[in-house]
Amino acid sequence: MPSTVPDFTELLGAAKHSAVHLEMRDVYYSNPRFEAWQRGERIDWSDRSQWWSSFHDEIADAVARGVHVRRARVVSEPVTEYIAWEHYITKANVAAGENVRWLPRRNTTDLLLPGNDFWIFDERVIRAHHFAGNGDIVEHQIHDDPTTVEMCASAFERIWERAIPHDEYEIR
């Protein structure tokens, strides 16, 4: 049965003001870019073709339309190899116009955190991500109940206030 969940591109393309992304896992699915990094391959940041993707186009287009795109990552320290790689490639997200922050998990004890990663678009709709234990994506869900959106948006803002800007966060 085809999914009735709008894809990320559609939701970001319709966003008018904001798109926020919360990531809370220490390991996500593997991919060829991560595996290349594990082998010691590094990006030549002066060669945009090595790192720019359609995702970066979508983010840059949204930012150009006036959408404020923010990403907060809650991470365990010392970080996993996957998170170290994400920190390395976040330079591309920032170049596309995302504002990214990192929050060490040890600094979240007094925060109520949502159970899933998500995107919130214009503080009206959540696209939740559900993962298997190994980091593979299982499904996406849409939530537009105002109470649920407000709870997740409020949690994101509390995390954001505490989180460390990308250019100041050092991998441990």
Residues ≥6 apart with Cβ < 8 Å to 5: 127, 139, 140, 141, 142
Given this model, what pLDDT does residue 127 score?
98
Q: What is the pTM of this model?
A: 0.95
Given this model, what pLDDT does residue 3 score?
62
Two tokens, residue 55:
């995702």
Cis previous bond, 165, omega within 30: no
Nearest to 79 by CA among 30, 25, 41, 33: 25
Structural domain boundaries in the chain? 17-168
Going by their DSSP bridges, the two strands 68-75 and 18-23 should be labelled as parallel
Average pLDDT over residues 22-35: 93
pLDDT tens, 56-100?
999 999 999 999 999 999 999 999 999 999 999 999 999 999 999
3-class state of residue 72 by DSSP = strand
Question: Is the torsion defined by CA of 94, 96, 97, 103 positive or negative?
Answer: negative
Rounded-to-integer distance, Cα 98 and Cα 123, Å: 17
Rounded-to-integer distance, Cα 110 and Cα 108, Å: 6
Pick the CATH number of 17-168 from 3.30.870, 1.20.120, 1.10.3230, 2.60.120: 3.30.870
**129: enclosing H helix or E strand:** strand 125-131
**In the predicted structure, residue 164 carries a pLDDT above the cut 60:** yes
pLDDT tens, 99-158?
999 999 999 999 999 999 999 999 999 999 999 998 899 999 999 999 999 999 999 999
Average pLDDT over residues 5-15: 96
168: number of Cβ within 10 Å? 8
Given this model, what pLDDT does residue 172 score?
87
